[in-house]
Amino acid sequence: MGKLILVRHGHTSLNKPGEDERLRAWLDVPLDETGLQEAVDTAEKLHGYPIEAIYCSDLKRARQTAQVLKRKVKARITATPELRPWNLGVFGGEKIKDILPFLNMLNERTDLAAPSGESFDQFYGRYSVRLQQLMTLADSTEGYVLAVT
């Protein structure tokens, strides 16, 4: 029986600490230098695990992280939109502190979609189906399946 390893993508320019942190959502922002180094560090930690496949979100930050990991683990990469984060539509790129009341409302009303985005229920449906497929795949393999989201 194999195992599923979940990896978060590396740091981006929108991951500023504190009051300047911005919501990434579906914005296709690349890793910054810190994020690239985080990916290298993660690859070093995963080196030696028998990883058979890498799945990642199709957003640039996840694909870049997966590419760095691939250099060490030598597994094929499959990019998929199902592993994208919650689509919060027009709020992508906004300062989190400025949209926090709306984000809290969306968390309470899981059926309500963000403008030009999706509801949490829609996100959960999309993401959880793909995650379940990856767990089933990991269960049927001898090695590991890696998911970068």
Strand pairing partners for 79? 56
**pLDDT per position as a tens digit, 55-109:** 999 999 999 999 999 999 989 999 999 999 999 999 999 999 999 999 999 999 9
User: In which residue are the tokens 């998911």 written?
Assistant: 147
**pLDDT per position as a tens digit, 19-49:** 899 999 999 999 999 999 999 999 999 999 9
- Of 109, 115, 145, nearest to 130 by C-alpha is 145
Give the pLDDT score at 116: 97
What pTM value is reported for the model? 0.93
User: In which residue are the tokens 């914005």 written?
Assistant: 27
